[in-house]
Structure 1
Amino acid sequence: MGILSSARKAAFSNPNLTALKPLIFVLLGLLVMYLPSFIDLFNGIWNTNQQAHGPIVLAVAIWFFYFKATLVPQANIPIVPAPHIGWPVLILGCLIFMVGRSQTLYLFEIGSLILVLLGIMLLFFGKPMAKHFWFAFFFMLFMVPLPASIVEMITQPMKMAVSIASEHLLYEFGYPVARAGVIVLIGQYQLLVADACAGLNSLFTLEALGLLYMNIMRHESPLRNALLAALIVPISFAANVTRVVILALITYHWGDEAGQGFVHDFSGMLLFVTALFLIICVDTFLRFLTGLLAKRKTRLGANS
């Protein structure tokens, strides 16, 4: 336990290689354990439209772990190892990984990483440190691949809803538009509302983006946080509709080639810019609203 104790103390204050050796060996073992899984993901389902959000969430999760780690020194978090909790969590995570890896169940194989990392943190640093990183662990849930049946069940209604909304919006602006399922017909052109335009990819990425925004902003009002989290879903829907409408208009006015290629890819960036703008607008409105409610509550308290 003496070696582990020195590693724990050195990890976030004046680290040196000797004291960090136990933790480094554990992390290297973790890399060897999970690297093949992530290689399979990058060459497999993360290379598809349905699960393309995975690499984005992974990159943001790594950054967020680093961001929270930089806050540890000034947070003055006590290091109280919790092996009685850490070992069971770590062992459970390893068992789930073995089942997932052997049966090619990404839900278990990648999901186990959260438990394994949590177990390691509890073993080395304890519950206060794990609590400090709680959102980083929660955020990783968004990168865990879901079974194809669940993805299809969620994606198909979303694509249909985006198609219907886009059709009605274009019709209100006087464009010759019709719809057949998830195919939007505008003029002589047909646009398929694919998974990338209105699927789980955009929903998960935007939900993760919104929750990350909330965590970084550190709003104190639980009501405001809950409302913003709930409104991210319609914000995602509105951003997807905006993307489809813009692509339809570009295709209608400048032809099919203009609506594909760079413009189509750029519209994906526009999707996230639009969503982020809407999140900030909604958050600003909620801040104004909660401020009014707080002032009213204060006045009522003063009058009583």
Structure 2
Amino acid sequence: MASTLTLPTTTARVRPLADVRLWLVLAALVALYAPTVSWLWERWTMSVWHNAHGMLIPFVVAYFVRDELERYDGPVEEGSAWGFAWLVPALAMHVLDGAMHTQLLSAASMVVAAPGLSWLFLGPSRSRAILFPLLFLAFMLPIPLGVTERLHLALRHLTAGGVEHLVPMFGVPLFRDGLTLLSGESRLLVADACSGFSTLYAAMTVALLTAYFCPVAWRRVLVVVAAAPIAIGANILRVSLLVLLVRTYGNGVLETWMHEGSGILTFVLALPLIFWLGTPPQSVAKEPATQG
């Protein structure tokens, strides 16, 4: 009877100690990565053309990690030292970035560190259950233009070609000279900001997350495959709208809120459609036999 009474007491003592260690580690990491978080915030808030969706990713990840842990019904294990297999390389990346001053490498190290902390404090089983949401943090990272320069150029040509065919359907004559769209006295250059890369990045991010939680296998494939065409199509509509606005109000319209507002329009068009494609009807979603 005595041993039965002392076991909960021992457990009660160990758990607060683990919580204290966790908070101390988190406080140290917050101090360590504060400059990197500040840099990320500057990139996220630069404009809608520069990875603006990245600021939402940590909150989305936190929500789904909590949801997965609440639904978890497996064994509750102690933390594992295998977490250092993630944490040590992450800290090495951060130290290396201190010499290179890229900030991007340090930001990437935060993504690598997250599973390591989970393994250390939650144990292997629960960490595997939330591994996808944790690695999903990678989508908060801005992608340097130098890495995606060729993709930007390809997207710009796709957009210009699409606008060339779409705008005349509204009875407006349009001539295309490479990446420059001419309509009457107005001209619009399809620059990097008009390539739609930001919309494509956000669309693929949402598509992968939607596919992960979709219970129907064929819909998972559909939503991932359809994300890029939807994003490109939404951007073609946006640039077509800009061409019509420029023709009506002149090039000065590009200096107004309508320019960035049209960028938000692409997200409004693309993201709900992706959610819809990846969300099966309730009657189908509840059928265990149809789950992938």
When normalised by structure 2's length, the TM-score is 0.81
Paired letter, 1:271: T
Paired letter, 2:19: L
1:249 corresponds to: 244
Kindly indicate whether residue 224 of structure 2 is the aligned counterpart of residue 229 of structure 1. Answer: yes
Q: Is the 8 A contact 1:243 1:270 kept in 2?
A: yes
Q: Is the 8 A contact 2:68 2:130 kept in 1?
A: no
Shift in CA distance, 239/8, structure 1 to aligned 2, threshold 3 Å:
farther
Aligned partner of residue 176 in structure 1, secondary structure? coil
* Cα distance in 2 for residues equivalent to 1:7 and 1:76: 24
1:52 corresponds to: 50
Kindly indicate whether residue 272 of structure 2 is the aligned counterpart of residue 273 of structure 1. Answer: no
Shift in CA distance, 283/90, structure 1 to aligned 2, threshold 3 Å:
closer
Cα distance, 1:36 vs. partner?
A: 0.8
Shift in CA distance, 192/151, structure 1 to aligned 2, threshold 3 Å:
same
Q: Which runs of 5+ in 2 are unaligned?
A: 1-10
Q: Which runs of 5+ in 1 are unaligned?
A: 11-17, 299-304
* Cα distance in 1 for residues equivalent to 2:45 and 2:150: 20
The answer to which of 84-93 and 232-241 deviates more is 84-93
* Cα distance in 2 for residues equivalent to 1:219 and 1:239: 23
* Cα distance in 1 for residues equivalent to 2:251 and 2:48: 24
Cα deviations across residues 213-237 of structure 1 (Å, max 9, x unaligned)? 344xx32223321221121011110
1:21 corresponds to: 20
Q: Is the 8 A contact 2:104 2:141 kept in 1?
A: yes
Cα distance, 1:77 vs. partner?
A: 4.7
Shift in CA distance, 185/261, structure 1 to aligned 2, threshold 3 Å:
same
Q: Is the 8 A contact 1:156 1:199 kept in 2?
A: no
Shift in CA distance, 171/195, structure 1 to aligned 2, threshold 3 Å:
same
Aligned partner of residue 181 in structure 2, secondary structure? strand
Cα distance, 1:160 vs. partner?
A: 1.4
Shift in CA distance, 8/62, structure 1 to aligned 2, threshold 3 Å:
farther
Cα deviations across residues 252-285 of structure 1 (Å, max 9, x unaligned)? 233333454122222122111110243245446x
1:240 corresponds to: 235
Kindly indicate whether residue 120 of structure 2 is the aligned counterpart of residue 126 of structure 1. Answer: no
Paired letter, 1:238: G
Cα distance, 1:59 vs. partner?
A: 2.5
Once superposed, what is the RMSD of the aligned Cα atoms? 3.0
Q: Is the 8 A contact 1:49 1:195 kept in 2?
A: no
Kindly indicate whether residue 30 of structure 2 is the aligned counterpart of residue 31 of structure 1. Answer: yes
Aligned partner of residue 20 in structure 1, secondary structure? helix
Cα distance, 1:65 vs. partner?
A: 1.1
* Cα distance in 2 for residues equivalent to 1:115 and 1:6: 31
Cα distance, 1:155 vs. partner?
A: 1.1
1:91-170 equivalent positions in 2, closer than 5 A: 91-170=88-167
Greater relative contact order: 1 or 2 (C-alpha under 8 angstroms, separation 6 or more)?
A: 2
Q: Is the 8 A contact 1:85 1:122 kept in 2?
A: yes
Cα distance, 1:161 vs. partner?
A: 0.9
Cα deviations across residues 101-122 of structure 1 (Å, max 9, x unaligned)? 3212444221111111110110
Deviating 4+ runs (over 6 angstroms):
5-8
2:215 corresponds to: 220
Cα distance, 1:8 vs. partner?
A: 9.0
Kindly indicate whether residue 78 of structure 2 is the aligned counterpart of residue 61 of structure 1. Answer: no
Aligned residues: 275
When normalised by structure 1's length, the TM-score is 0.78
